[in-house]
Amino acid sequence: MSKSHYQSPRGTRDILPEEAEKWRWTLNSFAELAQRFGYGQVISPMFEDLGVFLRLGEDTEVVSKEMFTFQDKDPKAPQDLALRPELTASICRAFAQHRPTTPWKVWYEGPQFRYEKPQAGRFRQFVQVGAEIIGEEDPAADIEIITLAWKFYESLGLEHITLLINSLGNRETRGAYNRELSAYLSAASGSLSAQSRETLAKNPLRVLDSKREEDLEIISAAPTIQDFLSPEDGNHFESVCDGLTSVGIPFVVSPRLVRGLDYYTRTTFEFAADKLQTAQNAVGGGGRYDGLIEELGGPPTQGIGFALGVDRILLACEAEGLELGDSKPLDVFVVDLTGGSQATQITNEIRDHGFSADRSFGNRSIKAQMKVADRSGALFAIIVGDDELEKNEVTLRDLRGDGSQERVSRSNLVNALAASLKERYSQ
């Protein structure tokens, strides 16, 4: 077969049926869990006014380098738009727009877009699931949100996830820390990577995000934000840590964890999949963003949330050897040797009764149709030949067991199939 001229764009991929089944199962698991925790789903647009995302901080790489931006076609006043690189900003925009009562507990799922350098576990279109609690400063909200993420990993069977946690304090804390950090990094800037030197000039905190080899030693000796926390923020963080301990969620306090976006305050956290290569082992992260909604034109409102990367979670599951999904084989494949109209009627009837059924097309030979039936993985075949049609019967054949078959009357077909399937599943 010659290769198609067109390929999916760089950094994107097609998820084909076998793989897509795992995706659907995983996304459903998250939806069920979030509903069980009392969160409602928000479905927001895939693109927003560019300004919504600029509020995330123009010095952050996601905003300055990675956004897919475009203008609409309004000839007089074209609007600047961007494909969403994440969903917290959209949720906060939606909150500021609709002003629901608080606490507003919501979850979401969907693709995000970032113009990144593609590599294993890093794509230009990737899927996140996430949740937010808006309008609540109680550390119990932080604990609940982290618990939701943790239970999701657990529900998939993942056992090698590390929760890293830190507090970034408030705006003043960050200001004071930024100055101290800036002084420290500037003194050591000769040994930093060129990229980090550039970052240092714009936003010293971001340098701590660097995973570049030459920066690691300098970063590991950098002052930490913990020494700058106000007593209130220190207490808040302590309550979060105590709460996590009380619900049995293990965590590592990581004093230099600052996360990629600028809007975080107080609690920040990240989940690392220990079985993945370190460069892309972050399978989720989140934190408080107590100033973001105000920035987007809403009233001063606290918020906390997380986003988990589904592409990477599935890679982590693979690395841990987990089989995801609960897919069942097809119940029945209908083989029609009388022209095809019987197959149309019988598959419809079977599907209407809630069973899964498939058929072949094109009026092929019995050999060809049985081959397709076998390949379909169906448990049973229903065969209609001239003799069966004449007697108003069908043949029901066991495709996976001993290959036995029986004639059943057309009117009793559904009952006979139900009984055979019941027996198969009880074996």
Least distance in Å: CB of 122 to ligand AMP? Answer: 4
Q: Which is nearer to ligand AMP, 51 or 260 (CB)?
A: 260
312 in contact with ligand AMP (CB under 6 A): yes
* List 13, 122, 275, 351, residue binding ligand AMP (CB under 6 A): 122
Closest CA to 341 of 408, 308, 389: 389
318 in contact with ligand AMP (CB under 6 A): no
Distance from the Cα of residue 335 to its chain's centroid: 40
Per-position x/- string for 46-85, each x denoting binding to ligand AMP as judged by CB under 6 A, each - no binding = ----------------------------------------
Per-position x/- string for 198-237, each x denoting binding to ligand AMP as judged by CB under 6 A, each - no binding = ----------------------------------------
Rounded-to-integer distance, Cα 347 and Cα 417, Å: 12
Q: What is the footprint of ligand AMP within residues 331-390 (CB under 6 A)?
A: none
Q: Which is nearer to ligand AMP, 268 or 369 (CB)?
A: 268
Closest CA to 360 of 351, 348, 368: 368
128 in contact with ligand AMP (CB under 6 A): yes
Which residues pair with residue 284 across a beta bridge? Answer: 271, 308
Q: Which is nearer to ligand AMP, 114 or 359 (CB)?
A: 114
307 in contact with ligand AMP (CB under 6 A): yes
Closest CA to 397 of 415, 416, 425, 411: 416
* List 61, 165, 309, 373, residue binding ligand AMP (CB under 6 A): 309
Helix runs in 290-391, H state only: 292-295, 310-319, 341-352, 366-375, 386-391
Tokens of 264: 């975080």
Radius of gyration of the chain (CA): 28
Q: Which is nearer to ligand AMP, 123 or 289 (CB)?
A: 123
Which positions ≥6 away from 274 have C-beta within 8 Å?
160, 161, 162, 281
Q: Identify which range of 214-222, 246-254, 283-291, 332-340 contacts ligand AMP by CB under 6 A.
A: 283-291
The three-point CA angle 158-269-228 to 5° equals 155
Q: Which is nearer to ligand AMP, 113 or 380 (CB)?
A: 113
Rounded-to-integer distance, Cα 329 and Cα 115, Å: 39
Q: Please state the φ and ψ torsions of residue 13, each to the nearest 5 degrees.
A: -155, 160
Least distance in Å: CB of 253 to ligand AMP? Answer: 19
CB 358 within 8 A of CB 333: yes
Per-position x/- string for 260-279, each x denoting binding to ligand AMP as judged by CB under 6 A, each - no binding = x-------------------
282 in contact with ligand AMP (CB under 6 A): yes
3-state secondary structure of 346: helix
126 in contact with ligand AMP (CB under 6 A): yes
Least distance in Å: CB of 210 to ligand AMP? Answer: 15
> Applying CB under 6 A, which residues contact ligand AMP?
86, 114, 116, 121-123, 126, 128, 260, 282-285, 307, 309, 311-312
